[in-house]
Structure 1
Amino acid sequence: MASRRRTTRGWSYQQTQLVVRYFFIIVAAICAFFPIYWVVISSLLNTHSAADIVPHFWPDWEWSNYTRAWNLAPWLQFFMNSIFIATCTVVLAVLTSLLAGYAFGTMKFPGRTILFLLVLGLIMIPGEATLIPSYLIVSTLGWIDTYQAQIIPYAVSISGIFLIRQFFLSLPPSLWEAAQLDGCSRFGFLWRIAAPLARPAIAVVALQTFIGSWNAFLWPYLVTSSDAHRPIEVGLQAFMSGEGGTDPTGLAAAATFTTIPVLIVFLLAQRQFIEGISAGSTKG
């Protein structure tokens, strides 16, 4: 009888834990998705509803906002610019993170730990502190209003180097020893064995770099002066610099259809993202 009571109480405690856990998950999900919901709702309001002090939680289904927003700026050009810049940045960031992470994680050389700590310490420097020096360098090189000014400064990802290094630290040394017996060089081991095994970590670096490049605003805003090289985020300025002031519904509509590519990429790569984060944190 006593054992039955303990089982009943234990099951009740487990149910309580489950309910509390799902409650916090639901609350976190609502907090995360509410801004997206608010932007979508705002994009479908009419001008009068958007100006109301009382918030509207249900749209007016003003689909003309999307037509007006699309016709206000050369979005095809902005999309192509953002895709090209983000793709090039991802390729370079993945390549540099893979090479540096491989060197720090598998190769032994004098000063390796100190050099890695110096590289890791760059994360502590705010990006705003490097804006003026970076702008002067780009201006000296004649890169103002070019693609390379938006790609090269982000070609190295410190967090990507750290993540891939952590993954390579988890590889057993016997793997490299076996490859040596087969006559495999360092680069051969990297491209044939280590890199394929590090695909989850590489996917995380690629996804983070893509999202960061796609959402970049301040630096592209400083180094571009024409629509020929401006990315999407800078193009959104068209709704806030007109003579009539900010167009909230048009801005919300533009923000909605410019966010869709990032959401699609994240949904397609979420499994690799979770696997890469888990793999990169297995060993310090």
Structure 2
Amino acid sequence: MTDTAKNEKINLSILISLLSLRFVLLFLSHINFIDSNLGLIIYLLGTFILTGLFICKNIENLSLFNISGFAIFLFLFSPVFSIISDPYNFIAYINIPIAIIFGVYLFRKKKELTLTKTLTNKLAGNIVITLIITAAIIAIGVFIKEFKGGDNLDTLNLEWIIHQLLFQLSFAAIMEEPLFRGFLWGYLKKYKLRDISICIIQALLFWFGHIYYMDTGLNFWIWHPIAAFLFGLIIVKTKNIAYSLGAHALVNTVAQIFMFYYKVL
């Protein structure tokens, strides 16, 4: 077996393992086939470790997987963000030394890193595109979900928003964006598929990955597939998961604000 074939086999094994954690483990946890707390711990630790391994294993072609330097920074510092938002999150304390190991390895191999880059003159455009798509996802969510929560706007403050944003960035965004809009995207690209085709495929898989929300009505059947497609559209336009990471965290943060602090009449 050639080195290329061996690397492809390893990449596929990591990708399948990540998908298994996301689809199989979380579903079994949701139906209480295994303890939900244990399932979540395994999912979070396993996903973080496998994500780091995939990045380190593919340092010479990370641009294929829409991985930028800033995306790596967000990944490596996600345990710190998690602790800032919740000092009692013991999983984050476990992930910190793991992140340091990955960081040291990537720093030593920095000359071999081939990252996706954004030209300075396109940076503002990418930010605008990301904000527009993010606003669209939020607007669709508000309309479809008819957010009904408590009238607690008087308790809403900037500190809570920052903590929630950091939590969402270190939780859902870091667990899902590298997998669906990074690794899976790059793997499908090897089959010469068009970006829009990959966008649709990843959206369907992302949607199916949230099947445990099936009983939430339009939230699952309409909003999740649309949001997944629009997150993918950010990648089509920017080729950088750093933008979709930020968009994902922002959407979830705003959702939390509507659910707990505002009532849509």
TM-score, normalised via structure 1 length: 0.22
TM-score, normalised relative to structure 2: 0.23
Q: Which has the higher helix share?
A: 2
Task: Report which of the two structures shows the higher radius of gyration computed on alpha carbons.
Answer: 1
